[in-house]
């Protein structure tokens, strides 16, 4: 099954959407801002090019 992510504009819209989901007996999960950030980070990591390698010396120069 596919997932729908909805971000309400305000508290009233949030209340309406959550009430509708409850009335329709549709399971749902509320995400915290931290959880949304973690999902975004996971997407970025997945898209990252990890085929290239960097030498230890290059990394140590950047850290100094």
- Range(s) of the domain holding residue 27: 11-63
Does residue 28 lie within any of the structural domains? yes
Is the pLDDT at 8 greater than 90? The verdict is: yes
Contact of 31 with 41, CB cutoff 8 Å: no
Q: What is the pTM of this model?
A: 0.58
Q: For 23-52, how does the pLDDT look when each residue is reduced to its tens digit (9 = 90+)?
A: 999 999 999 999 999 999 999 999 987 888
Give the per-residue pLDDT at 48.
87
Does residue 17 lie within any of the structural domains? yes
Mean pLDDT of 48-59: 88
The number of distinct structural domains making up the chain is 1
Identify which of 57, 60, 3 has the alpha carbon closest to the alpha carbon of residue 27: 3
Does residue 4 lie within any of the structural domains? no
Does residue 3 lie within any of the structural domains? no
Does residue 6 lie within any of the structural domains? no
Give the per-residue pLDDT at 27.
93
Does residue 5 lie within any of the structural domains? no
Dihedral (Cα; 30, 32, 38, 41), 10-degree rounding: 90
């Amino acid at each position: 099954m596919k997932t729908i992510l909805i971000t309400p504009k305000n508290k009233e819209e949030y209340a309406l959407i959550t009430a509708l989901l409850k009335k329709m007996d549709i399971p749902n999960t509320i995400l915290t801002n931290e959880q949304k950030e973690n999902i975004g980070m996971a997407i970025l990591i997945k898209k990252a090019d990890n085929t290239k390698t960097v030498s230890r010396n290059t990394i140590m120069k950047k850290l100094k």
